[in-house]
Structure 1
Amino acid sequence: MDLSNKKLSFQICCCLAAAAILILAVLSLSAANKEPSLTIQIAQFPHFLDPARISTYEEKLVCGALYETLLSYNPADGSVQGVLADQWEVDGSGKVYTFVLRKGLRFHHGKELTAQDVKYSWERLLDPEISSYGYLLQNVQGAKEYAAGKSSDVKGLRVINERTLQVNLLETDYTFPALVSSPVLAVVSRDTADKMGKDYGKRTTPVVGTGPFSLSHWGSDQITLVKNNKYKGTPARLKGLQFIVTGNQQEIKQLLTDSKIDILTGVSPQFATTICEEGKGRFIAVKKPVLSFYFLGFNLEAAPFGQNVELRRAVDQALDNEKLALSLLGDGSKPLNGLLPPELLRKKEIKAKYTDRKTALRCLAASGHPFGSRLSPLTLVYNNSSGHEMLARLVQEELGQVGIVLALQQRPWDEYKKELAKGRYPFFRLGWEADYPEAGNILYYNFAAGEEHNFTRYSSAEFDSLMKKARCEWNFQQRQEIYRQAEELLLNDLPVVPLFQRVAVFVLTDDVEGFNADLLGMIGFKRLDKNNDKEGMLFTK
């Protein structure tokens, strides 16, 4: 062959190869550029982006995009799916759990996730100077000693190797996988959090998880997340998320008009309805009942309610749950017909509980106070909030209809928490945000004897026995039946009056796809997408 032709052929091949590489690069860049971003409105700015310090809905929401837990839990059937964990098992005693991490998992900064990171993250929950969620891990061997500063690590959290963590419990608990799914048990980077110490998660510190998005910018009025290209699982469909803080209705309307916002998470149900009506099909409201509950509590160690269940029943029967819920939150709430909603405990749908004044009067008479006679004025104490004050006044009005005179007392939040823990109030407002979507989280931590959140001082050997029995029951359906018995017992003893659960209200533009919110109100950001082919429609003022 002629050498000149051979040289020419080689040059042509090189040119073609370079052109092919260039075309592939351009196509790849083009595909990346087509990945949309979403802008999400939140009502208040996070103080921390740290799973161990979640204290607001907004913090939980943003952390859900940055961090991941070992497992996810389905409350409908009790099934468990692996997230960071590839394998998990429990021994025959129900006390020893072994979790094996998926291979090749990396944090946002590129370092590999290890079992030591999981141990470190969970131990942070037990440090009272960092977290208030230590109660979730009190069943782990050595947890109480570590929290009290009596040991340097939690003996029940054993790192077997780089990918394997063994958890040793004090008592049998087949509901532990549900607990592990709690957002506060998400895993942080040990080296980053250790370096930042108690400042980790603040706006000025690096924030490092394994989630589908990583932190790009945390400014004074917005938070920007970008797609995590090191993510090991199914990648996010969006190239980024932007969270902006505003509660101003006119500003929100303008942002919608200018197509500068895609999802609203922090608006009232009434405003959401107005937006959808005026938007003429451009906006969609999504309502999701979540595990956030509102109760009225009685101190069972104090007069007049402590030894008088009939007086507690009189209060319960005098109140109209639906009226109270509707007056306070409208479509943003749903009346409770028990302690547990149907999302956690399947039950026949029954009508909302309305005021039954005849029964209330009969209970008052049985309590020794017919028509409220010989009953000193009661005081309902609540923390300072306009919403709580409105509800307290409604309760005052309804109880007055059966002769119960009720005074109201408002307390600053920090003082309210301390005084509530000390048992200072006979009658008070209670709220509970579920840590994970399993019935035991509501029942056990609020009503088991000796638990720090048992502000009613309720004590029942039968109830505690049912809670232990539920944790020892591996069969989901049989455990549900035990929870029904426990709920029935509580409704008979009535340490609290269940009022309503919150309904989370979201507003989406009609080009948002794949939206889903779970029972904790957390959005599945990985599945979110945006159809850029749809033409926007201006907001109708």
Structure 2
Amino acid sequence: MRGTTRTVAMLAGITSVALLAAACGGGNSSDDPSSSAAGKTGGAVTVRGCNPQNPLVPGNTNETCGGNVLDAISAKLVHYNPETAAPENDIADKIETTDNQNFTVTLKKGYMFQDGTEVKAKNFVDAWNWVAAGENAALGSYFFDPIEGYADTQCTGDGDDPCAGAGKAKTNKLTGLAVKDDYTFTIKTTAKVSNLPVRLGYTAFAPVPDSFFADPKAFGEKPIGAGPFKFDSWTKNTEIKLSKFADYKGKFGGKLDNITFKIYQDDDAAYNDVIANQLDVIDTIPSSALIDDKYKTDLPDRNLSKAVGVIQAINFPPAKTDPNYSDVKVRQAISMAIDRPTIVKQIFNGTREPATGWVSPVVDGYKADACGESCVFDAAKAKAKLDEAGGFKGGKMTISYNADASHKAWVEATCNSIKTALGVDCVATPVVDFATFRAQITDRKMKGMFRAGWQMDYPSIENFLAPIYGTGAGSNDSDYSSAQFDQLLKEGAAAKDGAAANEKYQEAEKVLASDMASIPMWYSTAQFGWSNKVTGVKVTAFGTIDFSSLALK
């Protein structure tokens, strides 16, 4: 989420109380020069932004470019602690259950939307019904799958319009949601979901005001939330401006008056602007500045590095789009042909950790080496595995990436490793920007392999599995489907405690390994840099800027 669901634009779990490992670098401790204690109230800052894929509708945003903006202007039932990711009640006063299947949510009174209306129970129920309804084709729909009646809200037809004719959904309302009064609603799930309250801080669960339903498209161009900042303007390909929401009622606000997301087409340009104090915060350091820790010299006392819940992978195209990668042996061969340790050392100066599975090591339940030998570089075994598959029948391999972030060097290095090991041509293929890149993927027009960053949406091992690989999931960009995997997800969600749930999720991850559903590349740390004008720069557990601590000196 950022990600990707938060598909992440750049490179960059946890039980509710688990801590992320801290990495070295300036400005991440409470007593260092970047502490917001010395920061003043008010003022404006600029931060690196990128082109959102879609209009800014909470339930239809599953990537970081739009998600970072929505997180600043939205308030949800739950807020995640920026350092530990522990869920803390925000709009929710209480979320109660006796059986992990029937939940009663009680809201705090007085929370206001930025259009002057009060946040009430119906604003959650109506928003969630809209996102779940198949007719709206919202990317966040899958997050409502656990709620009773979800299957009946889904369209069942094939082709370009699955909602046409007999494929139309039976209803556009979830039977598991009910408004009890202005400040109370209930949730009933089809089976026990022990971590449901933890999920409710994700963007897809944000409420929307009544005005949203009059024109969702117009809302997406000028969104309205109930968070600490309000949306002011969006100049496409240039900037998104926010300002402090005077009537914000929560406890997660900040000192700033204005935030501008400056949209860059090139990470090096953004980085140079930070060095020159023309940009206040950058949330990704280009690979050229990671070599020999150059960024620490360029930005002395103005940088930090922190382990975060982000993983980088390479996805395969859906079989209907490009069948050349459908053979599991071909996929395994490609993975074994990638020299992850050398790429991490040479391109990222050791700031990444080669992945051995699909789940980030910062989440509770992580198990090392889930991928097995398929994620271990071995050129001879890779070539033998490809020979077993009868070779690669697609001519040349391609790996596509968005060209507005620092991906070129590592994608080219990955292609070179594949080419050398397998004897098959591999071409790194740039796409102009993140919005275009994501549109090609979600429209199922992207042939060949493509990069896939994932930022956790909420602090759970399940979030690294279900939204990306569950059948029909909103971020399942490869259209992977396994009945065994889906069943293990259900069993994990219904488990009596965290340990039992983790065992089921670990079994599900083994299914991904046997199918080689994607190619895990590395686990990320976030490198940030900032200008000499700001203080209180902190990275959340999700790898995002903590706007509650950011301030001008």
Q: Give the TM-score range, shorter chain.
A: 0.7 to 0.9
Indicate the percent of aligned positions where both proteins have the same amino acid. 19
Provide the secondary structure at the position in 2 that maps to 1:343: coil
Whole-Å separation in 2 of the counterparts to 1:432 and 1:275 = 22
Deviation at 1:67, TM superposition (A): 0.4
Residue equivalent to 2:192: 172
CA distance in 1, matches of 2:359, 2:234: 38
Distance in 2 (alpha carbons) for counterparts of 1:251 and 1:297: 30
The answer (yes or no) to whether the contact 1:156–1:168 under 8 Å persists in 2 is yes
Match of 1:37 among 23, 32, 43: 43
CA contact (8 A) 1:179 1:436 kept: yes
CA distance in 2, matches of 1:99, 1:488: 35
Question: Which whole-Å CA distance do the structure 2 matches of 1:163 and 1:361 have between them?
Answer: 62
Separation in 2, partners of 1:197, 1:493: 39
1:114 to 114, 120, 136: 120
Query: Which residue number corresponds to residue 162 of structure 2?
Result: none
Match runs of 1:429-508 below 5 Å? 429=450, 431-433=452-454, 434-449=456-471, 451=473, 454=476, 460-508=482-530
**2:282 match:** 264
Q: CA RMSD in A?
A: 4.0
- Is 210-219 or 375-384 further displaced after alignment? 375-384
Going from structure 1 to structure 2, the CA distance change for 1:388 and 1:229 (only over 3 Å counts) comes to: closer
Structure 2 residue 86 is the aligned partner of structure 1 residue 86 = no
Shift of 1:476: 1.7
Q: Does 1:338 align with 2:360?
A: no
Normalized per residue, the structure richer in helix is 1
Relative distance call for 1:144 and 1:486 in structure 2 (3 A) is: closer
The equivalent of 1:124 in structure 2 is 130
**In 1, Cα distance between equivalents of 2:132 and 2:367:** 39
Are residue 70 (structure 1) and residue 77 (structure 2) matched? Answer: yes
> CA separation of 1:160/1:454 partners in 2, compared to 1, >3 Å: closer, same or farther?
same
1:201-236, CA deviations, whole angstroms, 9 ceiling, x for partnerless residues?
Answer: 31xx4x422112223555675444333332323263
Partner residue in 1 for 2:166: none
Indicate whether 1:61 and 2:57 are aligned.
Answer: no
CA distance in 1, matches of 2:472, 2:69: 33
8 A Cα contact 2:95 2:197, kept in partner: no
2:230 pairs with 189, 197, 214, which one? 214
**Deviation per residue, 1:253-311 (Å, 9 max, x gap):** 56764x56432235525347655423444x223444342432243868997765654x5
Q: 1:60 to 1:452 in 2, by over 3 A?
A: closer
Q: Is this contact kept in 2: 1:67–1:188, CA < 8 A?
A: no
Give the match's secondary structure for 2:88.
Answer: strand
- The answer to whether residue 204 in structure 2 is matched with residue 184 in structure 1 is yes
* Residue of structure 2 in register with 1:233 after alignment: 250
1:161 Cα deviation from its structure 2 partner:
0.6
Secondary structure at 1:187 match in 2: coil
Q: Is it true that 1:529 corresponds to 2:535 in the alignment?
A: no
1:162 aligns with 2:182: yes
Q: CA deviation at 1:317?
A: 2.2
Letter in 1 for 2:452: G
C-alpha distance in structure 2 between counterparts of 1:400 and 1:41, whole Å: 38
Farther-moved stretch of structure 1 (58-67 vs 213-222): 213-222
CA contact (8 A) 1:67 1:211 kept: yes
Distance in 2 (alpha carbons) for counterparts of 1:364 and 1:515: 47
Deviation at 1:38, TM superposition (A): 4.3
Structure 1 stretch 507-516 or stretch 519-528: which is displaced more? 507-516
Equivalent position SS for 2:95: strand
Query: How far did residue 87 of structure 1 move?
Result: 0.3
Pairwise CA distance, 1:469: 1.4
1:52 CA drift (Å): 2.6
3-state SS of paired residue (2:179): strand
- Is contact 1:420–1:455 with CA below 8 Å preserved after alignment? no
C-alpha distance in structure 1 between counterparts of 2:409 and 2:281, whole Å: 29
Does structure 1 retain, via aligned residues, the 8 Å contact 2:401–2:451? no
Gaps of 5+ in 1: 1-32, 533-541
CA distance in 2, matches of 1:58, 1:456: 21
Letter in 2 for 1:240: D
Secondary structure in structure 1 of the residue aligned to 2:316: strand
Given that 2:61 and 2:139 are in contact with CA atoms closer than 8 Å, whether structure 1 keeps it comes out as: no
Aligned length: 482
Q: CA deviation at 1:516?
A: 3.0
Asked whether the 8 Å contact 1:268–1:505 carries over to 2, the reply is no
Give, in whole Å, the separation in 1 of the partners of 2:125 and 2:64.
Answer: 25
- Give the alignment of 1:218-297 within 5 angstroms: 221-234=238-251, 236-245=253-262, 247=264, 253=272, 257=276, 261-265=279-283, 267-271=285-289, 274=294, 276-281=296-301, 283-297=302-316
Contact 2:228 2:248 in 1 (8 A): yes
Structure 1 distance, partners of 2:419, 2:279, is 46
Deviation at 1:122, TM superposition (A): 1.8
Structure 2 contact 76–91 (Cα < 8 Å) conserved:
yes
Closer, same or farther in 2 for the Cα pair 1:319/1:376, shift >3 Å?
A: same
Aligned equivalents of 2:347, 2:137: Cα separation in 1 = 34
Shift of 1:39: 0.7
Q: Deviations over 1:460-482 (max 9, x none)?
A: 55433321211111412332232
Matches of 1:495 and 1:41, distance apart in 2:
35
Distance 2:328 2:225 in 1: 51
Aligned counterpart, 1:319:
338
Inter-partner Cα distance in structure 1 for 2:356 and 2:110: 47
Letter aligned with residue 111 of structure 2: L
Distance in 2 (alpha carbons) for counterparts of 1:197 and 1:456: 28
Distance of 2:48 and 2:465 partners within structure 1: 30
Q: Secondary structure at the match of 2:227?
A: coil
1:100-123 CA-to-partner distances (Å, cap 9, x unmatched) read 111222223432210011112223
Q: Tell me the SS of whatever aligns to 1:110.
A: coil
* CA contact 1:95–1:173 (8 Å) conserved in 2: yes
> Structure 1 residues 394, 446: closer, same or farther in 2, change over 3 A?
same
Distance 1:241 1:265, change over 3 A: farther
Equivalent pair of 1:37/1:240 in contact (CA under 8 Å)? yes
**What letter matches 1:41 in structure 2?**
V
* Contact 1:256–1:262, Cα closer than 8 Å, also in 2: no
Aligned to 2:110: 104
Aligned-partner SS, 1:527: coil
**Ranges in structure 2 where 5+ consecutive residues have no aligned partner:** 1-38, 156-168
Higher relative contact order (CA 8 A, sep 6+): 2
Deviation at 1:336, TM superposition (A): 1.2
Over 3 Å counting, the alpha-carbon distance change for 1:347 and 1:197 in structure 2 is closer
